């Protein structure tokens, strides 16, 4: 199982880091067997698995429920769990309590939180100080969607400087890696070159030290995905067809099977 320190070593060695999200035992098992380096229990599960329009309604208890299932299915990958909206922003003490529950109750290897302003860097520092590995997240931060929308961040000189400063502050606070979401590729490259910890891009170009996508987008499970997300197959159509075929056979009595005969033990 990779450790946070090993991810940093991989950056130094030029070894790219593959990250995907998971929200249940079955998906986690498949991704782990496929050789994914890091499995992120992202708060995107609020939209993917629970049907919300944003990540904001997700609670810490809901995140813990899903993270436990994911960790049961993982033997090799490093599992990182998102801290959901308003489970860490009130104070460092709240963040310590929430992150502590994640590590104690799920067996995950660390947590991820959004933002890199001074108060958040202080929170990261306190978490790291007591032994909780932290992955940062700057650029488009979905928990701030009411303020920023889902549009690309870092397009103005001022925003580029702010995001770069936030990334540096998170590294100095002790974060072991940082997600760069939906920012210009040149900004992602600058950040990746300045930091000694790995950057994980999503919609941030190919100059990052690793990449992450939401697995439902990769599998084509939904009817919509971000423009920067790539689908490797269309499970939505395949599952729909399979379900339609099943319904057709049942209605024609073709799917009715005789009860199986089980041998006595």
- Which residue numbers belong to the known binding site for 3-methyl-2-oxobutanoate? 43-44, 82, 112
Of 90, 158, 181, 258, catalytic: 181
The answer to whether 181 is a known catalytic residue is yes
d(CA 193, CA 251): 60
Calculated CA dihedral for residues 172, 173, 175, 178, nearest 10 degrees = -60
What value, to the nearest 5°, has the Cα angle with vertex 26 and ends 23 and 28? 55
User: Which residues does 86 contact at the CB level (< 8 Å), separation at least 6?
Assistant: none
Question: Residues marked as binding for Mg(2+)?
Answer: 43, 82, 114
DSSP 8-state code for residue 143:
G
- Which residue, 4, 36, 255, is CA-closest to 28? 36
Nearest Cα to 76, choosing from 16, 33, 133?
A: 33
Instruction: Return the active site residues.
Output: 181
């Amino acid at each position: 199982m990779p450790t946070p320190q090993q991810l940093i070593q991989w950056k130094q060695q030029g070894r790219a880091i593959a990250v995907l999200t998971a929200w249940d035992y079955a998906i986690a098992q498949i991704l782990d067997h496929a050789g994914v380096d890091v499995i992120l229990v992202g708060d995107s599960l609020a939209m993917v698995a629970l049907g919300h329009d944003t990540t904001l309604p997700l609670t810490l208890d809901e995140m813990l429920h899903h993270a436990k299932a994911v960790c049961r299915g993982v033997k090799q990958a490093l599992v990182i769990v998102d801290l959901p909206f308003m489970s860490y922003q009130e104070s460092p003490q709240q963040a310590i309590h929430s992150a502590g529950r994640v590590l104690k109750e799920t067996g995950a290897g660390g947590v991820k939180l959004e933002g890199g302003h001074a108060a958040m860097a202080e929170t990261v520092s306190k978490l790291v100080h007591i032994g909780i590995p932290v992955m940062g997240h700057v650029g488009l931060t979905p928990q701030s969607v009411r303020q920023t929308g889902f549009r690309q961040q870092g397009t103005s000189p001022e925003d580029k400087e702010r995001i770069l400063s936030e990334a540096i502050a998170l590294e100095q606070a002790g974060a072991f890696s940082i997600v760069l979401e939906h920012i210009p590729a040149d900004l992602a490259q600058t950040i990746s070159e300045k930091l000694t910890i790995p950057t994980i891009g999503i919609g941030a170009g190919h100059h990052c030290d690793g990449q992450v996508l939401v697995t439902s987008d990769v599998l084509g499970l939904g009817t919509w995905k971000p423009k920067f997300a790539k689908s490797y197959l269309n499970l939505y159509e395949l599952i729909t067809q399979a379900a339609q075929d099943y319904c057709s056979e049942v209605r024609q009595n073709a799917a009715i099977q005789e009860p199986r005969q089980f041998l006595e033990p």
